[in-house]
Structure 1
Amino acid sequence: MIRLAHICRHPIKAHGREDLASVLLSAGACLPFDRHWAVAHEAAKLEAGWNPCANFTRGAKAPALMAITAALEEDSLTVTLRHPERPDLRFRPDDPADLPGFLDWVRPLCPPERAQPARIVSAGRGMTDSEFPSVAVLSLASLRDLSAKMGQDLSIHRWRGNLWLEHLPAWGEFSLIGRELRIGDAVLRVEERITRCRATMADPDTGRIDGDTLTALAENYGHRDFGVYATVLHGGRIALNDTVELR
C-alpha cells in the first residue's frame, strides 16, 4: 500500500528546506509557504507575480546553498537559516531592515563571478519552477534505484521535492500523469515530469558537488527527469504515513 513518507517545504526558494509532520493543502495552490519567497539576483528582470528561476539565486549556480536548512515560524513570518559554514540567522524576509543581514550571511555561499543576491521577493503563489502552482511528488523507490546505479546513497533533499511516496514501483510516478492521488483529505492530479538541473549534483549536507546525477539519469534511463508535478484539486490536511489512493 502506497503511503506518504516525507513532507518537505522550502520557505525561501533554494535557501533551505524543512520537514513537516502534516500540512493543510488548498485547491489550486502550492504547498503552504513552499517557495513563498525567492532571492532575486542583481541581474534579475522581474515582472509582477511569478517569475522563472533564471531571475533567482539558486543551487544550480551556487551549490553551497544546497546545504541550508530552514525553520519557518508561520505566525511571525520569521525564518531561521542554518548552514555548516555559517552562523545561524533568524530574520524576517518581508522586513527591509533585515535584508542587509541576510545578504551578508548568504554572500559567502555564492560564487563571486555570478550575479549576486540583491533582494527578496514574493508573489501571490509559490515561486516553484513550474509555470502553474504545483506540488512536487517523488518516489523513494526511484531514488533507491538511481542510488544503486550511481553506487552512492542519494539524499531526498537533493531533489527539493514536497511529497515523497513509499511503495510506489520505481519510476512508476511517470505512469501517473493524468491520474489523481487521494492523500489524507486532499486530492491531487499528476500533471508532468520534472526535468532536473545541476543543483541535484550537490550533497545537501555539505553543499559540495559529489555526484553526476544528470549523467546517471541520461545514461541509465534516457532522460533527466526525476519526480512529477501535481496540482491540488481538492484541499485538505495530509500527514505522514497517510495512505495514497490512486484514481
Structure 2
Amino acid sequence: MTARVTEIWRHPIKSHGREALERVTLSAGQTLPWDRVWAVAHEKSDADGSVWVPCQNFSRVSKVAALMQITAQLDEDAETITLRHPDRPDLTIAPDRDEAAFLEWVKPLMPENRAQSARLIRARQHGMVDSDFASVTLCNMSSHRAVEQKLGRALSIHRWRGNIWMDGLAPWEEFDWLDREVQIGSAIFKVRERTDRCLATTTNPDTGQRDADTLSVLDTWGHRDFSVRAEVVRAGDVATGDTVRRL
C-alpha cells in the first residue's frame, strides 16, 4: 500500500485553535507556514517572541483543557484570525494589533488557579513549536489507530495537534525514520526526533474535558511518544493525497 497524506493542519496561535489545509508550500529550515506564528505568554513569563523559548512560557492545553475546543481561520493577506469556541462568541482579530480584545475573549476559559494569559506575541525566528528547531510534526494514522485499539474507543486526531497526517504505513513505522530523509509531495524532510507527549493529549477536542488516559496507553509501548518532528531540508509543495516515501 502506498503511503499518502490524508490531512494537513496548522495552529496559527499556539494552543489556541487549529485549521485544516488542502495544500502548503514549505520552505527549507522553516515551520509549516503560519503554524504557531503567535503564542500567548502568561503572566509569569517574560517571553517576547524574539527568540525561541519552551512551552512552559505559554498558556497551553496541558494546563487549560478548554483551549482544545478552539478552532481558527486565518486570512493570510489581512493577517487576521477568526477564533471559534462553543462557549464564546466568534472573534476576528489582527493578533499584532488586537491583543486586548483577544485577552478579554480568552479570559473566561482560563481557570483562576492558573497563570493568566498576559501577552499575545509573534515569533520572529520561526513558529513557536515545541522543539528548539523549526519543526513540522508528521503523524501516522496507523499509530493513532493502535492507540485507539488499546484504549478501546475512538479518538480525535486533534488530541495530537500534528501538522501532516499520513496513512498507509505500519504502526510506529515513523520512529524508524529518525535521522533519515522522507519525501512528501515535492518537499524533503529530515526526521530529527520523536514527539514526547503531555497531559494535553488526554483532552477531548469536542468537549474540552480530560476523558482518555492516552499517556498510560503509550506507556504500554515503553514510551510516551507520538509522531515525529522533522526539518524541511528541501522546499516543496505538500497536498492531501500526495505520496510519502522514505529515501
- Match for residue 238 of structure 2? 238
| Structure 2 counterpart of 1:2, one-letter code | A
Secondary structure of the equivalent of 1:221? coil
Q: Deviations over 1:26-51 (max 9, x none)?
A: 00000000000000000003263211
2:73 aligned partner: 71
Structure 1 stretches of 4+ with a deviation exceeding 6 A read: none
Paired residues for 1:27-106 under 5 Å: 27-46=28-47, 48-95=50-97, 98-106=98-106
Cα distance in structure 1, aligned partners of 2:108 and 2:210: 17
AA aligned to 1:112 is: E
Aligned residues: 244
The letter for the 2-side match of 1:183 is I
Instruction: Say yes or no: does 1:19 pair with 2:20.
Output: yes
1:76 counterpart SS class: coil
Task: Tell me how far apart the structure 2 counterparts of residues 231 and 110 of structure 1 sit (CA, whole Å).
Answer: 33
What per-residue deviation string (whole Å, max 9, x for no partner) do you get for residues 61-117 of structure 1?
00100010000000010000011111111001000xx22211111111111111100
The one-letter amino acid paired with 1:180 is: E
CA distance in 2, matches of 1:63, 1:194: 20
The aligned amino acid for 2:172 is: W
Which residue does 2:198 correspond to in 1?
A: 197
CA distance in 2, matches of 1:121, 1:101: 14
Give the letter aligned to residue 51 of structure 1. V
Structure 1 residue identity aligned to 2:183: R
Q: 2:126 matched to 1:122?
A: no
Take 1:106 and 1:49, find their aligned partners in 2: how far apart are those partners?
A: 25
Q: d(CA) in 1 for partners of 2:202 and 2:109? A: 16
- Counterpart-to-counterpart distance in 2, 1:198 and 1:45: 24
TM-score (norm 1): 0.97
- Structure 1 stretch displaced more, 206-215 or 5-14: 206-215
Q: Percent identity?
A: 52
Separation in structure 2 between the aligned mates of residue 109 and residue 169 of structure 1, nearest angstrom: 39
Aligned twin of 1:180: 181
TM-score by length of 2: 0.97
State whether structure 2 residue 108 is matched by structure 1 residue 108. yes
